[in-house]
Amino acid sequence: MICQFSFKNFRSYKSENIFDFRAAAIPEFSESLLSSEKGDKLLPVGVVYGPNGGGKSNLLRALTCLISTVVKPIKDLEKNRESVIIQHRDNCIPFLFDQESREQPTEFVIYFRQGKNEYCYNLALKEDEIISESLYWRAIGGKRTGTVFERERAVITLGSSLRKSGINRTVNPKMPYLSFLAINYDIPIITEVQRWFESCVIRSYGNASVEKRIMVYKDGAVRNTILTALNDMGIDLSGYRFDEMEERLYTQRKIGGETYEICFEEESEGTKKLIAVLPVILLALQEGRLVVVDELDAKLHPKLLRYVISLFKNKNINRKGAQLLFTSQDMSTLRNTVFRRDEIWFAALNDCHESEIYSLYEIRREDNERVNSTAAFDKQYLEGRYGADPYLSNMLAGGDWG
């Protein structure tokens, strides 16, 4: 489970920004929080709103860049431990509207839990070269932190857990040392960290081709689960069939005792989106994975989007601690009946043309009090009270719509 992610000097973000999955001390949806015996409770869901060009997608791309930088060399050499990896690569590009930033590295820091441990991984990149890197660990809820390794360019220092193993400290300057260790050694603590990075699911539905990548399960129980979920969402399917000769998926409906098939491409855009995303969501829920999705709401009816969100917030379904982070423009789900205040985030440009992120829980009203949990989040957002959509509020206030 991800606890916190911070980054700086990445695309539209110049200064350090922090996205936090640690739950604030607020009462709403407390039953949905992910908890362990020790340690902070974590959020199952995070959503990012904001205007086009404000930095929503770049936040997700920053996380994607970090994860894929670690996983790609492992997968390329077929040394991965997870059999199913659903990710794509994103390049590391610094903030370009400042000459000093162009010359500085991009920095990432991520805290996550795997097994009984919490890890902190740091990575600094410049033009695909590793400037610095480190990995630390501690028991969940513990106070003592142990060093796995630290790296400053070519100089690598090993912690006590690795020092006795005769491990090579010479590595390609463009390869993360974490990836190098995962590829070349069978070290339990490295394998545990590697599995977390490999398990992360990354999808961008702003790219139409992604909807054509369908996970087709042959296992009957899994197929039935998918069909049940689709029917719960109002998509009336009795089955589906993948023709290996044609390499084409067919959906099936039973009408009047007869089964009829149509080609997947002939389905509605919303149905195609659901058939593409649902198997991935169910895999994540079954195995406790992090799901990062850009434009999850694209082509989805708001009721269907709410259904997907509810899967992660229902602890009877989400038993393994799966988490969902996504961007959205859908105002009908920006409600206190769907999200906690700390699950709602905004991305917007400041006066220096730099993206910034902040949660609804951080916002203070004019009286210096927090936004009420009972507030009409969607209405106040469109009125510009949260500062993340000045363009829309300006148009509504000053435009001639007669």
The CB-based long-range contact list for 125-129 (8 Å cut-off, 24+ gap) reads: 125/69, 125/92, 126/94, 127/92, 128/92, 128/174, 129/173, 129/174
What's the rounded Cα separation, in Å, for the pair 104 and 90?
Answer: 19
- For residue range 136-171, what is the model confidence (pLDDT) as tens digits? 999 999 999 999 999 999 999 999 889 877 899 999
Interval 289-312 mean pLDDT: 91
**173 vs 209, more confident:** 173
Pair 59, 66: CB distance under 8 Å: no
- pTM of the entire structure? 0.92
- Vertex 368 angle, CA 366 and 373, to 5°: 90
What's the rounded Cα separation, in Å, for the pair 54 and 354?
Answer: 9
- For residue range 249-292, what is the model confidence (pLDDT) as tens digits? 999 999 999 999 999 999 888 888 888 888 899 999 999 999 99
Exposed e or buried b per residue across 133-158, where buried means at least 16 C-beta atoms within 10 angstroms of its C-beta: bbbbbeebeeeeeebbbbbeeeebeb
pLDDT above 60 (res 392)? no
Q: Which amino acid is at 281?
A: I
At 60 the pLDDT is 98
- For residue range 51-103, what is the model confidence (pLDDT) as tens digits? 989 999 999 999 999 999 999 999 999 999 999 999 989 999 999 999 999 99
Pair 177, 186: CB distance under 8 Å: no
Interval 20-31 mean pLDDT: 97
- For residue range 194-212, what is the model confidence (pLDDT) as tens digits? 999 999 999 987 665 555 5
Q: Please tell me whether residue 364 adopts helix, strand or coil conformation.
A: strand
Range from 110-119, 130-139, 393-402 carrying the lowest mean pLDDT? 393-402
Question: Band of the pLDDT at 366, cuts 50, 70, 90?
Answer: confident
pLDDT above 50 (res 400)? no
pLDDT above 60 (res 240)? yes
Question: Band of the pLDDT at 390, cuts 50, 70, 90?
Answer: very low
- At residue 201, φ and ψ (nearest 5 deg) are -105, 125
At 206 the pLDDT is 63
At 181 the pLDDT is 97
Q: Which amino acid is at 25?
A: A
Q: What is the 3-state secondary structure (H, E, C) of 177-224?
A: HHHHHHHHCCCHHHHHHHHHHHHCEEEECCCHHHHHCCCCCCCHHHHH
The sign of the CA dihedral 387, 391, 393, 394 is: positive
At 270 the pLDDT is 83
At 402 the pLDDT is 33
Question: Band of the pLDDT at 111, cuts 50, 70, 90?
Answer: very high
* C-alpha R_g of the chain: 22
pLDDT above 80 (res 5)? yes
pLDDT above 90 (res 226)? no
pLDDT above 50 (res 123)? yes
- Taken as a whole, the chain contains a residue count of 402
At 23 the pLDDT is 97
Token readout for 78 is: 């077929």
